[in-house]
Structure 1
């Protein structure tokens, strides 16, 4: 049985390890959007269903020898697909549909190996129950597979990504896939050998200790097999979106819900005794009410508290869903059908978040839906379970408490949804995230302003006061790096200014009639919102051009633009598009700069210090660096703290009094940081150890000691 266990371990590890590797290849192709991870997860859920369906059909309609032969053929096809090559040109352009584009690229690149890996757990469990000395508790192998997945996911950003390049990661994974194929082939040979006596005698190879006359699972049980994993899968993707893009944009925070999700599978399937329905359901509803309180009072609570409460509620919901699945486990002869429904439920839940939710909602409303849906499904199961205290309303006090808690949660979520409806002017959601326009200080003409947020990150602010309407705001104040550069670099001559990342177009406030601004913006909704709800672009004195699409990819295709200033303004959350900070990217930018031109990078981020990366790139290009950190005064409500880095060969400008006086001296600049390339990037070495925050104007800004 050790052979089956090792095969499950290695197969699951490889399956979960290839997910972040594939993501590293895909992120630069789609502008570094965090939605790439969501679509990747949807792809793996779809192929997990395919693997479960394959294992179900194979074990149901074929004998052990044919099973081993067919699976050997699939393994050989998987090895033949190596090495892994994930490229945008492997599929045709799908007309600006990034979700379909990502799914198609993954299917063509790694579809066959992922299908083989996905079938591992149910197939090995089914084989382990055949022949002589069958495994009595094959479901524990599923717990083992989730432990392996947990190790793969948790180790990647801390042990794999900082050490190995992207190409080397793919090569090592291919070697592991080859070793897995050999191990799986050995498991097939052993299965055929273990069942030889029963097959020669014309007997069934199924587990002899099991009642083969047991009835097939009823429709209600099969429906529960479908609904429970659908709820947990929906909640996994919803809580990841919520806490990573709307609560706290912290690097690697996406690991927390995925690790809790895998851990709940491992706990519940290892020992059924770990799940106790009597305390899990009430605790789940109490935690859901805690999430309600967090969402309503989030402005007054520490980020750690918000994340902790959301994570606890998510864990309890997963334990409830997966614990109920364990209670509904069928006899091993229906094992593969059980996993098939689990895979289908996971795909339905994930598909709702990745495909349906962006079309139905303009925010992350599926998070609240998932939190309410999990206890509802569990209550329905308890209502129909004769062994439950809640069977047909048996314990009225318990029902009263649970129903009241559920109603309170639903009402609180509704209240939270309309809390800022009086200030909200526009909301939109697409592949690149959520955009919301607010108006604040409606009764104060001097402080009334409109605010654009992506998640909870400010992307622009404009005052309504005619005296301040065209004043540079947010990260672009006159004393910020952007303000100093645009005010002091060649102000007397016409300038050509390139900006990657438009926001609401605040930088055009520094433009003169003779200047030309060329914006590169990947999110089409940003351009629409900036034109409809803000007036910087409409009232600009300079000539403005907007180029849709990813900034780096657009610059690679264009002829040299001869920019006097090139601004990279795409670093405002944890979704760092690292492909714009690599050696190859800076070579592209340098091609577009005039002699004596200046490159300006916005690295305002409370969790990552990207200065060493930019310092290394500057040294490679023979440029000097000036770091400018601006912390506005408390009464400057229209400004946010900012952290800018200038790169240039123009020593005269960087040594000018205005720039020299604002340049921040830092010991970090004396050391060369990590050298990023398209093949190697790592965020973990750049995590900050200390940072502080303060709230201003409804947004989160950073100060440092």
Structure 2
């Protein structure tokens, strides 16, 4: 019987977490490929999970364990009728406003009933098992480890096995088949429980290890403790995921790895005999939290450091969940325990997805969750009473941080990560010395990071504006003599630069001697393209190439970016352009599809979410749509500069499938060009035939791409990001 229940809960949880990246993959193209899509999806899944756990608790309480299964089987049968999922959604980021509510509504229609039916599976199966005569029925929490193992296997299988091999329609049919098998297994479990005598008539004495913490009444203090110990790791999960995927790429792989680690912590703490307790885990977490906060303040990030962030997240979440497991009640209160756990998960997710974007203009919720975790760590010496030093210690840390920062600013120490490290390194050591006292420890960390942000010591340049939208955090920085350079960053990725003393000169990836500069130089004057479409606005650098009689239409998903680019106090490329400039707000693929066919002589694809190009703009279907909008003799230009992904093969395969010619230019600046603001860039141009390229086909910088390469084109139903990760 134990095997039957273990297999059932394993499959239930596998389906629960296989559907999450799959549905996010379906939704993602309509919302610009931003990391916030995953945060909002996670909020939805956590909210429905809460409903599922609440339903499991209340229905079992009202109907009894023996009658409840028939209600649940009826719900599952109804959900089966809604499968498989559709793989196309309408709407999305089509204009102004925050699309969070629209996204949540689409998720509800797409997956709401089936996800609800599966979400109640884990607590129900455990509660049903607890009402059997199995010797382990008195402590069914070991099934929760099997549940989380199924979840973790499914999560890792999606980016590694499912997504690279199956198209979305095949994925949805696979999930529907698994759901049908789950209905059969749940029915078998219900029947097995119905035939099993009730536990009270089983003549067996419990051993000491079968008796849990306390079978008495659940207090409000215990409920609040469960909520807090669930909410903080949930918030930390989303904060770490957003931080990493914003700085690398919003792809399922970078969503599921943190979530898999999160689930692994549950497997470890709900084992029959956990091999490490919350106190030593808390000690390790206390050593790591100050270090990772210093890294966040320094804005130090590279791909290898993602492993550090994930490791710290894993240890901290493990410590919190260990405390949670150690306070779990007897099986009679199992469904209530899971309900309050789910409440905490939803509160943590709602804070990150809804509250944080409104009250913070940076990803401050990430270090804030680390601080909250520090406050929840178990005291190394239990029973230690609070003292007046607990109030003065954080003040001392804040004063020290302020003094060091002001000293460096006073003596004009050049902005750098080393300057930031010196300003927060010593205060971080003082914070660590308080690790034995969680309140003093957490509040000292809060004082350090608040003072560091307030003094601006953490910035490599002076931040004159910071705004946050659904699509990310945008900062405008100034530097150079008389603050002549204005720079736009999305996450930690450069999205545009302007020299306010030479406002007509496009810089960075758009320099006149760079690849896109040669394109506009080749088609200028009498040969200019009269109508140009530009996907992605940035600071509007390409508008500097505009000529009289030319019309440039920018397609930009984020209204915040438009507001920044058109503010003459920040950037003037759009205002000063000699062309007629229009800006269309909404997802570029959806909005560009509405334009008349054969209307653009040049389409420039330059859309980035931090450092990653949204996948749905690189598919074969997207390329076919661009061709329909391209006039005879027109050109497609793709900006594919990227720190982590090698995308030329994807475009080469698309060009091959669509019968196009493809050319590549990998450009690097000279020392003098770099000093004046030029950066390295990689561009590809595609055309129906090489004659359409005019003088560019003879430009030695543009090399022909071999279209017989074995790369596979991405489609709306297939992409494989792992295959294009850079090796170095």
Distance 1:609 1:212 in 2: 54
2:558 to 496, 499, 523: 523
Counterpart residue number, 1:205? none
Distance 2:260 2:546 in 1: 49
Counterpart residue number, 1:610? 647
Of stretches 148-157 and 483-492 in structure 1, the one that deviates more from structure 2 is 483-492
Return the offset for 1:48.
Answer: 0.8
**Residue 342 (structure 1) aligned with residue 311 (structure 2):** no
Distance 1:101-1:195 versus aligned 2 partners, 3 A rule: farther
Distance 1:54 1:26 in 2: 27
Counterpart residue number, 1:503? 538
Distance 1:14 1:183 in 2: 13
What are the Cα deviations for residues 603-662 of structure 1, in whole angstroms up to 9, with x where unaligned?
111222221221122223322111011111233231121110000135235473675310
TM-score (norm 1): 0.89
Counterpart residue number, 1:413? 449
2:572 to 535, 544, 547: 535
Distance 1:118 1:198 in 2: 29
**Residue 598 (structure 1) aligned with residue 597 (structure 2):** no
1:662 to 686, 701, 712: 701
Return the offset for 1:307.
Answer: 2.6
Distance 1:681-1:145 versus aligned 2 partners, 3 A rule: same
Distance 1:76-1:639 versus aligned 2 partners, 3 A rule: same
1:163 to 146, 162, 165: 165
Counterpart residue number, 2:582? 545
Count of residues paired in the alignment? 670
* SS in structure 1 of the partner of residue 576 of structure 2: coil
Distance 1:510 1:9 in 2: 58
Return the offset for 1:528.
Answer: 0.2
1:448 to 484, 499, 502: 484
Distance 2:435 2:643 in 1: 45
Distance 1:399-1:515 versus aligned 2 partners, 3 A rule: closer
Distance 1:186 1:464 in 2: 72
Counterpart residue number, 2:715? 677
For the Cα contact (< 8 Å) 1:79–1:113, is it kept in 2?
Answer: yes
Counterpart residue number, 2:615? 578
For the Cα contact (< 8 Å) 1:475–1:642, is it kept in 2?
Answer: yes
Distance 2:109 2:91 in 1: 7
Distance 2:563 2:109 in 1: 34
Distance 1:212 1:640 in 2: 61
Return the offset for 1:163.
Answer: 0.5
Distance 2:236 2:696 in 1: 54
Distance 1:216-1:633 versus aligned 2 partners, 3 A rule: same
What are the Cα deviations for residues 49-106 of structure 1, in whole angstroms up to 9, with x where unaligned?
1111111112222233311211111111121221212553599999844111111111
* SS in structure 1 of the partner of residue 641 of structure 2: coil
Which residues of structure 2 form unaligned runs of 5+? 203-209, 391-432
For the Cα contact (< 8 Å) 1:629–1:664, is it kept in 2?
Answer: no
* SS in structure 2 of the partner of residue 661 of structure 1: coil
TM-score (norm 2): 0.86
Counterpart residue number, 1:627? 664
Counterpart residue number, 2:509? 475
What are the Cα deviations for residues 129-162 of structure 1, in whole angstroms up to 9, with x where unaligned?
1132352331111111111111111121111111
Distance 1:632-1:160 versus aligned 2 partners, 3 A rule: same
Which residues of structure 1 form unaligned runs of 5+? 202-208, 691-705
Distance 1:610 1:634 in 2: 27
Distance 2:352 2:214 in 1: 40
Distance 1:664-1:110 versus aligned 2 partners, 3 A rule: same
For the Cα contact (< 8 Å) 1:250–1:573, is it kept in 2?
Answer: no
Counterpart residue number, 2:382? 389
What are the Cα deviations for residues 426-454 of structure 1, in whole angstroms up to 9, with x where unaligned?
1111111111111012xx24x83010011
Counterpart residue number, 2:189? 187
Distance 1:391-1:76 versus aligned 2 partners, 3 A rule: farther
* TM-align CA RMSD: 2.9
Alignment of 1:425-444 (within 5 A): 425-441=464-480, 444=481
Alignment of 1:9-408 (within 5 A): 9-85=10-86, 87-89=88-90, 96-134=97-135, 135-195=137-197, 214-246=215-247, 252-271=253-272, 273-299=274-300, 303-304=303-304, 306-379=305-378, 382=379, 389-392=382-385, 405-408=441-444
Distance 1:237 1:625 in 2: 39
For the Cα contact (< 8 Å) 1:289–1:408, is it kept in 2?
Answer: no
For the Cα contact (< 8 Å) 2:548–2:578, is it kept in 1?
Answer: yes
What are the Cα deviations for residues 395-454 of structure 1, in whole angstroms up to 9, with x where unaligned?
99977665554354223322442325671111111111111111012xx24x83010011
Distance 1:60-1:659 versus aligned 2 partners, 3 A rule: farther
For the Cα contact (< 8 Å) 2:246–2:609, is it kept in 1?
Answer: no
Distance 1:96-1:411 versus aligned 2 partners, 3 A rule: closer
Counterpart residue number, 2:690? 651
**Residue 488 (structure 1) aligned with residue 487 (structure 2):** no
* SS in structure 2 of the partner of residue 234 of structure 1: helix
Return the offset for 1:523.
Answer: 0.4
